[in-house]
Amino acid sequence: MVRLFLILALFFSINYAEEYTLETLSETEQADTVEIQKDLLQEKIRSLLGENAYARHREFIKIIFSDEENFYTNRRVDVTKVIQTLKDNGLLELFFKKPQQMHLTFQSSGYPLFFVKIMSDTLQSMGYYRFITDRSKQDESGFFWTIRLTGEYAIDPVLLQDALAKRGCSIVDIDRNTATDWSYQIDMKKAYLMLKELEPYTERVLKKSLYEHWLNVKSAKSLTIWSLSGNSWYPYVSIYDKELHLLKVYKRDKKTRRITLQLPEETAYVKLADLYSLKNIKQGLRVQAKGTK
C-alpha cells in the first residue's frame, strides 16, 4: 500500500509540480523516489524487450543502465535514449524470421488531419508506403491512429524519432505490446509539414506525381496556378492553416488553363489536385506566389 502511494505521489509530482526537486525531500524520501524511478526504468526496459529477453540479459542490463538518472528527462523515462542504448548493445531485436503483419498505434493531442498527414509523410520518408488504416478514434486522451503493414522487421524507433524531429515532433513514450504491436505517443506542439516555402514573387514547376501537390505558402497573399500543355485540369484546390484546419476549397467542373486565388490571412498550406483524376495533370503545373503578408 505504501509503495502504491509512493508511485501515485511520484506520478502527480511529475505532471503537476515540475519545480519540486529531490533537493526539497528528506533523505528517506529521496531514497524512495530514486527507487521508484529505478523501478519505472526497469519496467520500461522489460516492456521493450519482452519478459524472456529481459530475464536472459538481466545482469548485463544492470551494467549498461547503472546510471539510472542518465535515462530520465524532466523526470520521465527518456524512452528514445533507452532504445538507443538497447540497440547499441545488441539487445533490441527488431527482425522477424519471416514477414509479419504489424500494428502500430500513434497517439497525440494534435488536430487529427494534421497528425495523420505528419505521420504519413514521416512513414513514407522511411520507405513505408503500403500501410492501411485499421482504426482511428478521438477521446479525452487525444487522437489515436492505428495502421497495419507487413514487413520483415519492426520499425526502428530511433530512426522514427529522427524522421519526426525533422518535422518538429518528438516521441514521448513507446509501448511494445508484442513483437508486432507497438504504440507511440507523439508530441507535435511544434509540428510543421516538411515543405520548402514558395516565397512571394517566385515560381515553381510541379512535375507529374502519384499524389496531390502540397505547397507551403505561409507568406503569400495570392497564388496563380497554370495547367501545363497536354493536361485537362479540373481544379480542386484546398487551402489550410498551419494545423491543417480547412479554410477554403476551390473546385471547378470545367477544363481550366489558369486560376488566381486570393489566400485567407491564416493560410499556411495549399493542396493542388484534380476534381476527377491526377492523370488529368500528368504534365504538371506551374505555380507563382504573389504579395506579402
Look at residue 5 in the predicted model and tell me its pLDDT.
Answer: 38
Look at residue 74 in the predicted model and tell me its pLDDT.
Answer: 84
Average pLDDT, the chain: 88
Q: What is the mean pLDDT of residues 148-172?
A: 95
Which cell is 239 given? 487551402
Is the pLDDT reported for residue 17 higher than 70? no
Looking at the chain, the whole-number percentage of residues with pLDDT higher than 70 is 87
Which cell is 217 given? 505558402
- pLDDT tens per residue, range 59-93: 999 999 999 999 998 888 999 999 999 999 999 98
Quickly list H helices, the chain. Answer: 2-16, 27-49, 51-56, 58-64, 79-88, 112-125, 157-165
Does residue 107 contact residue 99 with C-beta atoms inside 8 Å? no
Q: What is the mean pLDDT of residues 19-23?
A: 42
One of 3.30.70, 2.20.25, 2.60.40, 1.10.8 is the CATH number of 203-290, namely 2.60.40
Look at residue 56 in the predicted model and tell me its pLDDT.
Answer: 95
Q: Give 25 or 130, the one with higher predicted confidence.
A: 130
- pLDDT tens per residue, range 50-59: 999 999 999 9
Look at residue 196 in the predicted model and tell me its pLDDT.
Answer: 95
Report the candidate in 223, 204, 225 with the shortest Cα–Cα distance to residue 264.
223
Look at residue 2 in the predicted model and tell me its pLDDT.
Answer: 38
How far is it, in rounded angstroms, from Cα 120 to Cα 155? 14
- All CATH 2.60.40 domain ranges of the chain, comma separated, are 203-290
- pLDDT tens per residue, range 92-126: 989 999 999 999 999 999 899 999 999 999 999 99
Q: What is the pTM of this model?
A: 0.81
Quickly list H helices, 96-183. Answer: 112-125, 157-165
